[in-house]
Structure 1
Amino acid sequence: MENRPAAPTPPPGLPPSMQDLIGKHPGEPNVMDPELLADPFGGYGRLREKGPVLRARFMDDTPIWLVTRFEEVRAVLRNPCFVNNPYSIPGHTGPDPRTRLMEVLGIPREYSVYILESVLTSDPPDHARLRRLVSRAFTARRVPELRPRVEEITDHLLDELPAHCDEHGVVDLIENFAYPLPINVICELVGVPEVDRPRWRDFGADLASLEPERIGASFPAVVDHIHELIDARRAAPQHDLISALIRARDDGDRLSDTEMVTLVMALVLAGHETTAHLIGNGTVALLTHPDQMRLLQEDWELLPHAVHELMRRCGSVQMTQLRYAAQDVVLAGVRIRRGEAVQPVLVSANHDPRHYDAPERLDLTRQAGRGEDHVGFGHGMHYCLGAPLARQEAEVAIGRLLQRYPDLSLAVAPNQLKTKVRRRQPGAWRLLQLPLRLT
């Protein structure tokens, strides 16, 4: 009898509808494969070396093209032939290929519009209209004005860290610093009352769980909550982003309630989740590379470059959302047919040895004088709107943490972080906990 490799064991916590899909198509990796979830750097790195464009499967088993190398990922992200919304494909009138994923994730059909027709899935010309409206309320000038408040919140959280230590002198940096900082900053900016902020932490955890029961309960709750905030600001405007979005106009045009809800949801959820884990991942990277940490402590002017390098090497977002070919496209010699889905993989692009010298090495001087030479925040017209705020928060958080507690150290072995407290989630690299000793 022919020997066949055993099917990979599905990661724990997956719904049965996803578990049955793992290993279903030999030779076509699924983004839910345990190997890719446990070690996306190594797993996607090996796929990258097989080719720049590879056939694969998404978490709902739909066929996709993985794009793995730096130049090809950037090419997809800046090419208008790859669209976010399948209905932007000329002549497309069939079913929405994303509907299956909504069902697998447990999102009620009546709420799927807040994903399928969101600001994040818009394409030109609508995308330019929405970006203009949003940018008037979320300007580049506004972000530096927030820095004193970011520093104030950071210092308060650092003052409180010793009080959160257990009897062994160990504190969880994720719970007590990395999460509270960005969620307080983005909620203040957007206009989420302080009393409601713990709910957003729960919302984020539920929506990242991949458990249909939790997602099905929390997603409608998030949408309804944002509608309530919008109604409250219409009745009593304040100096916050929601009020500014309500006022924003462009030649008489304005954001619809659905557009405002999706924007607020994206800013708050992405604005605290991704930054929290950039802080956590970055702290681990520095603590496990003492030469680089000393380099930073000897020259704090390196902080902006350090954050770029940490975002490249261990950023928490490892994939973009799917793109769809609006016409037949040849990419790296591979013909991608009209309507086919493409998955740019940021983690493999940011570790591509064709673009970086020794990409696995942490080098805080790598970005010096070269601008943003990575795709951690995306690229092209859909480049992350909140990137300036995320970079600023990471600079303040990491800099002040290491200045306040220069003898900071891991309370567990680095390999325990990989095996015990990493959330195994496609497209994300996140710590559930980060146990540290302050002295």
Structure 2
Amino acid sequence: MCIGWLVGPLVGTAATAHVSLLPTVPVMVLGLVQCGVYIPGVRRGLSHYVYGTPAPWRLIAASGVLAAASVAMIAILVADARLPANVQVWTTVMLFPTLPVTCLLSLVISKRRQALVYVVNTAVTMTAMGLAGVSLVFVAGLPVTLAFSALFAALACRSWGWILAAMRELDEAKGAQARLAVAEERLRFARDMHDVVGRNLAVIALKSELAVRLARKGRPEAADQMAEVQQMAQDSQREVRDVVRAYREADLDVEMAGARAVLQAAGVQCLMDQEDSTGLPQQVQSVLAWVVREGTTNVLRHANASTCWLTLRVTSDGPPGGDRTRGAGTDTAARPEPAVIFTMENDGVVPDVIHRSAGSGIAGLRERLAALDGTLIVGPRPDGRFWLRAHVPLEEGQVAKGDASGLAASGWPAQA
């Protein structure tokens, strides 16, 4: 805009009149300085508009002073008899000087105050131009020119602010959704514990009270009541262990279906390529289910993904050399082993997350996989995607013949 609305018309006018560009240089220099002030100003103005940070009043004041100086110099040029009195050209030139300060003001003041600033600015500019001896035809067109500049600035900057505010609300919504998912899981676990333990605790309390009363009366039935209390306590302990075991040993198919539902609810397209996992050992299914759960949580909390790919492969070949196997000192390239491989990819790589150290969730997954001689790879791929890969070796006979593609076609180095 500085080139098209300011520099271009001034250079063209000087060339048409065959006069030196020297009188127009100060105006063009001021225009470039205004651009230099505008860039940090609009950054801070958008931050104020979206996040409520302090407004850049100093930069706005500096931009206003530069705008006033530019308008004064343009008035001198318009009154210069050596330059042609082309109203259209000078009207175009007047579009730029007030544009930067108007953009900044649109981000920090209300629409009514911006309209008031426009009225005052137009009145002062028209008065100054009239006193400088500028053509009345040009002065009469200033309200329209300045109105267009102010309207363009307000629409452009407020549109940017609205887009950034929408992106901030989307990020907050994703965080809230992740917190709600955690809260829902806690409520489910609490509900299960209440259903399992609540009734037994109530019965234990009643029988304990009855046993105390019988014991005070010296009745032998007190021992029978306490024996029942002991049995119910043992039953409760067993049931709690069953609940915790079911919570820890998550079902792989359920977690895969849940990951798809949660990702799609968050606006992430989820593409799945899943083989039948019903024949896998329960320990393998459980640990892979935790990998799915942790990977889904990381996509929701740490990535800006639009698409996520989930792949589950039960292969009769281990990945090419480098992964650990059950036989000490044995390389998978020399003696392939059956294995189950789960990968989760997404296209929402965030640079800050890449360089961030692995959290406790990833460390916990590595520990779970290590108990089964499995490995975990987490990091960006060469094609720009973020990759999470879990490899768990299987004993002979635990996997049927199927897709033995492994990771040979992926080009990813198999290292933990």
What is the TM-score with the length of structure 1 in the denominator? 0.21
Higher-RCO chain (CA-CA 8 Å, sequence separation at least 6): 1
Which structure shows the bigger proportion of residues in helix conformation? 2
TM-score by length of 2: 0.22
Larger radius of gyration: 2
